[in-house]
């Protein structure tokens, strides 16, 4: 019996529909249109594609989309000036500075300059601290997407044994906090972990977020486990076309797991959808409205 394939594309599409309904309600009942501003510094091709996708999906949901493109040689003061302008702009409810930034710019300083109420990437120290202490916070989009995908298989995660492989501030650490909020029992693993395979074999839920292609093998998995693959690596494929693979050996996992996300078509689909969710939540909080139904 092969694993159920978790369709991130379908889950993300449903989430975007829910966001669009909430935007329509906010416009009708409160005259409020949520606005998302994305700041891109330089011309990283992957970042440019991602920013275009964000703008397209923001507009499709009925929200206002603002894009600020600065040259690669922009100074830190230039970027901070744009962030400060957006902090003051009442039409902007979400601010995202696209990472990675060009060398010479301090991402920590720039993220810390964003108004925490508009920090839809969930990376500001205030939001990270609130999440870590169990308080309501804007949450990084990829971990939020991981939780939503997991709950499409298991409506309750209470008491489940989860392993998170990777401890980045963008994915691993906030994902641990979100799992704790769901009353899962969580182990965080990393490059110094001893016998990672044995640790994974105990887990009901495995989250792979280390950026090492196909590191998690099929025989690392507990039969029936749910596997969420956050990694994405481009490798040469047949006919000269590149192929995208994740941190999990997908074909092997299909033979052992109960459910698994594909790459592409899994977690990546959720990240922008959750960015839209965060923008709507931020707009409601800024205007003193009740939490939206997304």
Query: Domains of the chain by range and CATH?
Result: 31-115 (3.40.50.10860), 141-269 (3.40.50.720)
Nearest to 146 by CA among 292, 291, 8: 8
Mean per-residue pLDDT for 233-256? 90
pLDDT digits (tens, 9 = 90+) for 59-110: 999 999 999 999 999 999 999 999 999 999 999 999 999 999 999 999 999 9
Reduce the DSSP state of residue 57 to 3 states and report it. Answer: helix
Nearest to 168 by CA among 129, 203, 227, 209: 209
How many Cβ atoms sit within 10 Å of the Cβ of residue 190?
A: 13
Mean per-residue pLDDT for 1-16? 94
Q: Is 98 known to be catalytic? A: yes
240: pLDDT strictly greater than 80:
no
Q: For residues 213 and 201, what is the distance between their CA atoms, to the nearest angstrom?
A: 19
Q: What is the pLDDT of residue 49?
A: 86
- Which positions ≥6 away from 269 have C-beta within 8 Å? 8, 9, 11, 12, 145
Q: What is the pLDDT of residue 250?
A: 96
Q: Which residues are 65's β-sheet partners?
A: 36
Q: Is the pLDDT higher at 47 or at 182?
A: 182
Q: Is 121 known to be catalytic? A: yes
Residue 3 DSSP symbol? P
* Residue corresponding to tokens 């696209």: 98
Residue 124 DSSP symbol? S
231 band by pLDDT with thresholds 50, 70 and 90: very high
Peptide bond into 195 cis (omega under 30): no
Which residue among the candidates 115, 118, 119, 121 is catalytic per the annotation? 121
How many Cβ atoms sit within 10 Å of the Cβ of residue 268?
A: 22
Q: Strands, DSSP E only, in 171-286?
A: 185-189, 205-208, 226-229, 233-236, 242-245, 259-260
Which residue among the candidates 57, 98, 177, 269 is catalytic per the annotation? 98
Helices assigned H by DSSP within 97-233: 107-112, 125-132, 141-151, 172-181, 196-201
Q: What is the pTM of this model?
A: 0.94
Cα end-to-end span (Å), the chain = 34
Q: Is 151 known to be catalytic? A: no
Nearest to 141 by CA among 129, 149, 153, 133: 149
């Amino acid at each position: 019996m092969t694993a159920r394939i978790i369709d991130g594309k379908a889950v993300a599409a449903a989430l975007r529909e829910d966001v669009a309904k909430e935007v329509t309600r906010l416009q009708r009942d409160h005259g409020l249109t949520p606005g998302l501003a994305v700041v891109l510094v330089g011309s990283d091709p992957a970042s440019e594609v991602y920013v275009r996708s964000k703008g397209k999906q923001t507009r499709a949901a009925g929200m206002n989309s603002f894009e600020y493109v600065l040259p690669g040689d922009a100074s830190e003061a230039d970027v901070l000036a744009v962030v400060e302008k957006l902090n003051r702009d009442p039409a902007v409810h979400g601010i995202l500075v696209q990472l990675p930034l060009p060398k010479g710019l301090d991402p920590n300083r720039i993220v810390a300059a964003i108004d925490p109420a508009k920090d839809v990437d969930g990376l500001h120290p205030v939001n990270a601290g609130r999440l870590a202490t169990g308080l309501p916070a804007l949450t990084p989009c990829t971990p939020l997407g991981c939780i939503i995908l997991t709950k499409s298989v298991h409506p309750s995660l209470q008491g489940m044994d989860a392993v998170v492989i990777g401890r980045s501030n963008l994915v691993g650490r906030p994902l641990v906090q979100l799992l704790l909020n769901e009353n899962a029992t969580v182990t965080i693993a990393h490059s110094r972990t001893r016998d990672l395979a044995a640790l994974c074999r105990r887990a009901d839920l495995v989250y792979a977020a280390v950026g090492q292609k196909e590191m998690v093998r099929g025989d690392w998995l507990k039969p029936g486990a749910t596997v969420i693959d956050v990694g994405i690596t481009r490798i040469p494929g047949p006919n000269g076309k590149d192929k995208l693979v994740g941190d999990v050996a997908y074909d092997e996992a299909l033979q052992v797991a109960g459910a698994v996300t594909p790459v592409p078509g899994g977690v990546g689909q959720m990240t922008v959808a959750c960015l839209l969710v965060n923008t709507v939540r931020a707009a409601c909080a800024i205007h003193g409205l009740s939490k939206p139904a997304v």
